[in-house]
Amino acid sequence: GAVVSQHPSRVICKSGTSVKIECRSLDFQATTMFWYRQFPKQSLMLMATSNEGSKATYEQGVEKDKFLINHASLTLSTLTVTSAHPEDSSFYICSATQGRETQYFGPGTRLLVL
């Protein structure tokens, strides 16, 4: 099956710093990428939908200035957590689609803000 990578897999940062997470589709072109957040013992929560060459669509309650998303190419989307705080600590997962019904998930990035 298709492969989606995320980098870094794990990051620890100080409060107030910004962290960039990359999501890449390695062997296919992804017109759409989704960014999710997952708290312990809970399911995935959609943060935003990212389309190549256009602005991301954010879910209600997600601050677009805090979670900057850039979908620069058909194989790369980045999520930047700006001025991170401890409450931003979470597991962030991206997925990429080839079509409406096919979605491939990245391995996730565990963020810890001290």
Partner 1 sequence: KNEVEQSPQNLTAQEGEFITINCSYSVGISALHWLQQHPGGGIVSLFMLSSGKKKHGRLIATINIQEKHSSLHITASHPRDSAVYICAGLDRGSTLGRLYFGRGTQLTVWP
Interface positions with partner 1 (CB under 8 A): 1, 32, 34, 38, 42-44, 46, 49, 51, 91, 93, 95, 97, 99-108, 110
Tokens of 2: 């298709």
What is the smallest separation between the CB atom of 19 and partner 1, expressed in angstroms?
17
The 10 Å Cβ neighbour count of residue 24 is 19
Scored b (16 or more CB within 10 A) or e, 25-47 reads beebebbbbbbbbeeeeeeeeeb
Closer CB to partner 1, 14 or 41, in the complex: 41
What is the smallest separation between the CB atom of 108 and partner 1, expressed in angstroms?
4
